[in-house]
Amino acid sequence: MTIKISIDCMGGDHGPSVTIPAAISFLKRNPDAELTLVGLEDVVKAELKKLHADAHPRLSILHASEQVTMDDPLEVALRRKKDSSMRVAIEQVKDGKAQACVSAGNTGALMAVSRYVLKTMAGVDRPAICTIMPNMNDGPTYVMDLGANVDCEPHHLHQFAIMGSVLVHAMEGIARPTIGLLNVGTEDIKGNEVVKATSQLLRADHERGKLNFFGNVEGNDIFKGTTDVVVCDGFVGNVTLKAIEGLARFFKLVLTTEFKRSPLTMLGAVIARSALKRITKRLNPARYNGASLLGLRGLVFKSHGGADAEAFEWAIRRAFEAAKNDVQQQLADMIAELMPREPQPNATKSDETA
């Protein structure tokens, strides 16, 4: 079965010069994929021509006259730029013309426009952003929320846990993914009031056999791979993710500087090249690019704004896998089962996105 993905070609720090080579490379490797490139037609065509890929049978171009910049306030992205490549790419999902969409644009705008165009899934109060991180078990740890919801109530975190569990089940083929609640200690008495109340909700689902709740986890458990999913509010998730990115960059800088310091250390680096290559590969952030916006009536994936073509291709791959594994239907089923209540009065209230 062919899976169709729409791509916001204009988003991110590098726009078409990254998104289009990534799309072409992805198409070549995946014969069951079709892509719709959304953006300024002339620009997209010129980039395709450069890559000798302007007549690919599984590729189509959809013109969008505007683009959302990294600095655009939410209101501009939402109300003024109605023909932005971001919005048109999301509308492809809404209209059933694509099964998922990928953008490297501004996270806040992407979430806001996605919510506006696709609407929130029944039973979900707030969509959330889920990303993956490498762990010492050579597997990914799924962490959410990454910044869509800076103030959360226990039932929000509860929903995040359900969505994370479904995503891991669909993407990794794990029957009963383990769920950890990010906290300042592992004991039940630890944490703030929201976390303690969330723990009770998750424990109840666990006892009914619906979720595999491990209990509290701490920051280091993300990298230990203690659980498949780590749940937190968007404030904690965003700060932690960025701190981790900052440390990774610092580490890379120290590694590079110190090996380049003298001819001898450079020689050592040349001889140990294969080790350095594997280190880069294992810790390569590109492989972990592609965060899921979960809880919408359609699949949207967010690439890092600074992604290169390799990283952006990973984001397309994740969107493709999610569509192929029918994450959307599985989410709807699980939410209907575990969250059968009426939407909250504030279900449509837009929360600030990071």
How many Cα atoms are found within 13 Å in the side-chain-facing hemisphere of 97?
15
**Site for a second copy (CB under 8 A): which residue of 2, 200, 265, 346?**
265
Q: Is 259 in the site for a second copy (CB under 8 A)?
A: yes
How many residues of this chain bind a second copy (CB under 8 A)? 66
Q: Is 200 in the site for a second copy (CB under 8 A)?
A: no
Long-range contacts of range 280-286, CB-CB < 8 Å, 24 or more positions apart? 282/134, 283/134, 283/248, 285/245, 285/248, 285/311, 286/310, 286/311, 286/314
128-134 vs 291-294, strand pairing mode: antiparallel
The residue (of 79 and 251) whose beta carbon lies closer to a second copy is 251
Least distance from C-beta 10 to a second copy, angstroms? 22
Residue 125's nearest CA partner among 105, 107, 143, 145 is 145
Q: Is 127 in the site for a second copy (CB under 8 A)?
A: no
Q: Is 346 in the site for a second copy (CB under 8 A)?
A: no
Q: Is 79 in the site for a second copy (CB under 8 A)?
A: no
Sheet containing 212-217: which strands, arranged edge to edge? 59-63, 33-39, 3-8, 100-103, 299-302, 291-294, 128-134, 140-144, 229-231, 178-182, 212-217
| Contact yes or no for 289/312 (Cβ under 8 A) | yes
Q: Is 310 in the site for a second copy (CB under 8 A)?
A: no
Q: What is d(CA 27, CA 316) in angstroms, rounded to the nearest whole number?
A: 10
**Site for a second copy (CB under 8 A): which residue of 204, 224, 333, 347?**
224
Q: Is 32 in the site for a second copy (CB under 8 A)?
A: no
Q: Is 248 in the site for a second copy (CB under 8 A)?
A: yes
Residue 23's nearest CA partner among 50, 53, 49, 43 is 53
Least distance from C-beta 212 to a second copy, angstroms? 22
Q: Is 275 in the site for a second copy (CB under 8 A)?
A: yes
Q: Rule CB under 8 A: which of 133-192 touch a second copy?
A: 134-136, 147, 150-151, 182-185, 189-192
**Site for a second copy (CB under 8 A): which residue of 32, 200, 261, 348?**
261
Amino acid at 214: F
Helices vs. strands in the chain: H and E counts, helices first:
13, 11
**Site for a second copy (CB under 8 A): which residue of 267, 333, 344, 347?**
267
Residues lying near a second copy in the complex (CB under 8 A) are found at 134-136, 147, 150-151, 182-185, 189-193, 195, 218-224, 232, 234-236, 238-251, 253-255, 258-259, 261-262, 264-265, 267-276, 278-279, 282-283, 352, 354
